[in-house]
Amino acid sequence: MADERINLADPDFEPTDEQLRELSRRAFAGVREQHQAALKRIHQEIAKGRQDRRQHWGDTKNRKP
């Protein structure tokens, strides 16, 4: 597939199954890693926010939010 030119704008172009699989692989390459990295950042931000809140308000184990 690397040698073949694919023109998805051409209405007469009909990609093979292998071309579609390769396009899909390339389109979604790295998505899992990016998703996991984003989740890690979110969890870190939440943990930091909780830590900041505890430092500001003190221990909240016996308090209602």
As a whole number of angstroms, the distance between CA 29 and CA 34 comes to 10
Task: Give the three-class secondary structure for 62.
Answer: coil
pTM for this entry: 0.55
The string of pLDDT tens digits covering residues 41-59 is 999 999 999 999 988 887 6
The string of pLDDT tens digits covering residues 2-55 is 546 788 888 998 889 999 999 999 999 999 999 999 999 999 999 999 999 988
Identity of residue 12: D
Q: Sketch the domain layout of the chain as residue ranges.
A: 17-57
